[in-house]
């Protein structure tokens, strides 16, 4: 958080993506410039989210559930996301670094499924700080065909 790739203290600069350049000169007088890009965050800021059931429907013999996640990070930005049913093992996918984003995911089930399903959302920011686990549930017995 407070060190660049070259070990330079960067705790006084703003949060975000930065590039540090280092110029080297050999004994023979050859100049070489190296750079490294890094992301800094002065203090660990956990990403956070709001998770909700956006909509349910019964169509074409299937129960459908749309789950909405509103994702935020006041620090360096969210880099990885795990958005799935709670019963599924964590599987984080890399995303472009974002400060905030609305994500809607569709889940489909057989018409005979009347169980209660819990969905989970976990976030990891660009400097590997994890969020809390966010959950929301839906009772599929309430998702019925309507006239």
pLDDT grade, residue 4 (50/70/90)?
low
CATH of the domain at 131: 2.60.40.10
Q: For the chain, list the strands marked E by DSSP.
A: 16-25, 31-40, 48-59, 62-72, 78-85, 93-98, 100-110, 116-125, 134-139
Question: Residue 5: is its pLDDT beyond 60?
Answer: no
Say whether both 58 and 126 belong to one domain.
yes
Say whether both 68 and 132 belong to one domain.
yes
Task: List pLDDT tens digits, range 55-104.
Answer: 999 998 999 999 999 999 988 889 999 999 988 889 999 998 888 999 99
Whether 134 is covered by a domain: the verdict is yes
Task: List pLDDT tens digits, range 31-46.
Answer: 888 887 767 666 778 9
Q: How many structural domains does the chain have?
A: 2
Using CA atoms, how far apart are residues 90 and 93, in angstroms rounded to an integer? 10
Whether 61 is covered by a domain: the verdict is yes
Whether 147 is covered by a domain: the verdict is no
Whole-prediction pTM value?
Answer: 0.73
């Amino acid at each position: 958080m407070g060190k660049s790739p070259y070990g330079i203290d960067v705790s006084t600069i703003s949060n975000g993506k930065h590039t540090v350049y280092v110029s080297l000169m050999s004994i023979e007088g050859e100049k070489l410039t190296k750079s490294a890009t890094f992301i800094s965050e002065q203090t660990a800021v956990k990403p956070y989210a709001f998770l909700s059931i956006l909509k349910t429907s019964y169509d074409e013999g299937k129960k459908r559930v749309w789950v909405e996640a509103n994702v935020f990070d006041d620090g360096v930005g969210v880099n990885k996301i795990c958005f799935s049913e709670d019963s599924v093992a964590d599987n984080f996918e890399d995303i472009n670094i974002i400060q905030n984003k609305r994500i809607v995911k569709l889940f489909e089930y057989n018409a005979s499924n009347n169980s209660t399903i819990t969905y989970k959302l976990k976030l990891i920011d660009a400097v590997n700080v994890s969020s809390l686990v966010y959950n929301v549930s839906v009772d599929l017995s309430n998702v019925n065909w309507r006239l």
